[in-house]
A and B are shown apart, each in its own frame.
Chain A
């Protein structure tokens, strides 16, 4: 976040894309989508329970971002701004999903989007363990341990204090360790 750091060529390129997109250039916005969709997907996937919901959140997030593009100040970090929007879209989907079909969660979790060969007892147990975690704790541990976000960034993404993100991570790790405690002895 330091303002004294030299601006990289990548950042300058991104700024150009943002300015062009703000001027109505769809190709420039497509360039931003291309750059950020993987990270956006990862953020969404950490919050919702299924690949399909994560995709929906990404699409909704980009659509919201596009509509709000004129309000974005180019001196900000576009990625942080966008990921916050995607996180909000994902949280919204997760809330709606929770209300709609809470009973189907275990099935949704245990059916990941790719490579059915990987699906096995271990994955199913992890899915069950993740399902016993609170929504926020699950998002925090995935964002931290899988995506590499720092506590403050997670707090900003999920709209919670940094200390809460830190404590959620601690509890989530302890919970999963307990739930999967016999992994070492089995494998």
Chain B
């Protein structure tokens, strides 16, 4: 089985004695039963590999078979639990929305009762032109103060 296609390991820089030693050291087992056993082990690992893959990745339809044989009461219980969870989630969500709306309404009421604060628009040139002539210097150049 040792198919030699190069210069048979005896090139100009090769020591034939070292080459022979290497061949003796690395020679594959000659016993035929060894190779039969190795083949059997390889095929076993291949088969095991397939089984493992199938266990890890069950077919997508395999769940339906289990569902068909499942106790109808268990299925009903699961459905009821899911419905309860959905209803609970919806209730919590709506309560949150209501609370937000109430808070926004309260804030709007408070803000409408207060005078408008001096905002950025006061500082623009457009607004500055509407200031009276005798406006304090700090109104005209607020960043300098």
Interchain CB contact under 8 A, B39 and A34: yes
Query: How far, in angstroms, from A37 to B8 measured CA to CA in the complex?
Result: 22
Q: Which residues of B contact A29 (CB under 8 A)?
A: 43, 46
Q: Beyond A59-B45, A176-B18, list 13 extra A-B contacts (CB 8 Å).
A: A37-B39, A37-B42, A38-B35, A42-B2, A55-B38, A58-B38, A63-B46, A67-B49, A123-B21, A144-B9, A148-B5, A173-B18, A180-B18
Q: Which of A12-20, A98-106, A111-119, A155-163 binds B?
A: A111-119
Q: Which residues of A contact B22 (CB under 8 A)?
A: 126, 141-142, 145-146, 176
Q: Which residues of B contact A41 (CB under 8 A)?
A: 28, 38
Contact partner, B45, options A63, A126, A149, A183, Cβ 8 Å: A63
A148 and B46 in contact, given A118-B24, A176-B15 (Cβ under 8 angstroms): no
Cβ-based interface call for B66 (8 A): no
Contact partner, A148, options B2, B41, B53, Cβ 8 Å: B2
Identify the closest chain A residue to B50 (Cβ): A66
Cβ-based interface call for B114 (8 A): no
Q: Which residues of A contact B110 (CB under 8 A)?
A: none
Query: How far, in angstroms, from A177 to B26 measured CA to CA in the complex?
Result: 17
Q: Which residues of B contact A30 (CB under 8 A)?
A: 39, 43
Interchain CB contact under 8 A, B46 and A39: no
Interchain CB contact under 8 A, A147 and B43: no
A62 and B42 in contact, given A145-B23, A148-B4 (Cβ under 8 angstroms): yes
A38 and B6 in contact, given A142-B22, A146-B23 (Cβ under 8 angstroms): no
Q: Which residues of A contact B119 (CB under 8 A)?
A: none
Distance from B102 Cβ to chain A, minimum over Cβ atoms (Å) = 61
How would you classify the secondary structure of chain B's contact residues: helix, strand, loop or mixed? helix
Q: Which residues of A contact B19 (CB under 8 A)?
A: 145-146
Q: How many residues of chain B get a CB closer than 8 Å to chain A's CBs? A: 35
Query: How far, in angstroms, from A112 to B104 measured CA to CA in the complex?
Result: 83
Identify 10 residue pairs between A and B in the complex whose beta-carbon atoms are under 8 Å apart, listed by A's number.
A34-B39, A37-B38, A114-B29, A123-B21, A123-B24, A130-B25, A173-B11, A177-B13, A183-B15, A184-B17
Cβ-based interface call for A84 (8 A): no
Identify the closest chain A residue to B38 (Cβ): A37
A177 and B15 in contact, given A148-B2, A148-B4 (Cβ under 8 angstroms): yes
A46 and B26 in contact, given A29-B46, A148-B3, A180-B21 (Cβ under 8 angstroms): yes
Which of B13, B17, B28 gathers the greatest number of chain A CB atoms within 10 Å? Answer: B28
